[in-house]
Every structure is written in structure tokens, then in C-alpha cells.
Amino acid sequence: MVKFKYNHKKCDLPYDPTELRPTKCLKCLEVCPKSLLMFRPLKKKDKDGAPIRFEIHMIFKSFADKFCPDCMKCVEVCPSQAIEISF
């Protein structure tokens, strides 16, 4: 069973309401051979109710359990050590 740990403070993808996607990095998404990683606005909001940043998450757990081949490319490519994966 794959366990995905992600630290949004290390990753730091600022939320820009004029952009539909993060304008920084996303190397982990690019290298994943199974396209198991995605981004979304972090649930935590600022004082004006806007998301403070984007976060990376792994798609449906049952799907990831089946298709994540333990390649560790996302962990290795991350410049901020924001991702940990264990099985």
C-alpha cells in the first residue's frame, strides 16, 4: 500500500488567482510515468478567504496502490525534499 507524504511548506507553490495552475516547478508531475500526481489549491485560506498556495496530491488511493511502480522519480526530482513515498 503506497503512502504519500507531502510537505507544502517545503514545496511552496504560491497561489495566483490569475493563473489556473502553479507557475513554478511541477517537476514531480512531469516525471511521474503513471501521471499519479496532481495539484490543487490548498484548503487553508488567507484572511481574505483565498487559497494561500497550491499543493501536490496523489490521485485516488486505490488507483495509486495499483499503478505506482515504486520508481521514486518524484522523490528524486524534487528540489525541496517535499515528497516522501513508502510502501
Interacting residues with ligand SF4 (CB under 6 A): 11, 13, 25-28, 31-34, 36-37, 56, 68-74, 77-80, 82-83, 85
The nearer residue to ligand SF4, 42 or 77, going by C-beta atoms, is 77
Q: How far is the CB of 19 from ligand SF4 (least distance, A)?
A: 14
Q: How far is the CB of 56 from ligand SF4 (least distance, A)?
A: 5
Q: How far is the CB of 16 from ligand SF4 (least distance, A)?
A: 15
> Which H, E and C letters describe the chain, residue by residue?
CCEEEECHHHHCEECCCCCCCCCCCCHHHHHCCCCCEEEEECCCECCCCCECEEEEEECCHHHHHHHCCCCCHHHHHCCCCCEEEEC
